Amino acid sequence: MNTKERWFIIFTLIAISTLTTFDIVTDLREGVTWWHVLVEAFVIIAAAIGVIYLLRGTFSLIHKLDDEREFSSNLKTENLRFKEQSKKYLEGLSQNIDEQLSLWTLSKSEKEVACLLLKGFSFKEIANVRNTTEKTARTQSAAIYSKAGLANRSQLSAYFLEDLLLPNTIV
């Protein structure tokens, strides 16, 4: 239930409580039976409980949303700080990867495919990005592995990432 729906229901329940209260006052002046007044009093109490329940939930959601916005903002700030701190290292890594791809004598197209493979793109995604067929992406990746002396995508990734792992990680 969204916020507008919650507020609509709250105001509806308040209106029901108010109108029922006026009805009880009128009924008491006219001498209506006690059980009729009791039923209407129950309606007022039920509506009031509904209002309280919805208001608590609404304010709780607003508080949680504020917390989530702050958390998201903190994550964005942290992400920007990380990107700024690691920028020079990533630029150096990108340059080293490009140099290695050149040493393997990859064509410009093969270099593009290799970079997309390293980023984790599927063959279908590579084909879409490069406006080629999936078969072309597979063929180019096979040529990359052959020129590099590697067997598959995992070995291609490992070739560049192996030295980036901390010494304490699993070998």
Q: What is the pLDDT along the chain (171 residues), one digit of tens a residue?
A: 677 888 899 999 999 999 999 998 988 888 888 888 899 999 999 999 999 999 998 899 889 999 999 999 999 999 999 888 888 777 778 888 899 999 999 999 999 999 999 999 999 999 999 999 999 999 999 999 999 999 999 999 999 887 666 666 555
Closest C-alpha among 46, 57, 69 to residue 7: 57
Question: Helix 108-118 crosses helix 34-103 at what angle (to 10 degrees)?
Answer: 140
CB 29 within 8 A of CB 46: no
Has this prediction a pTM greater than 0.75? no
Q: Distance between CA 105 and CA 101 in Å, rounded?
A: 7
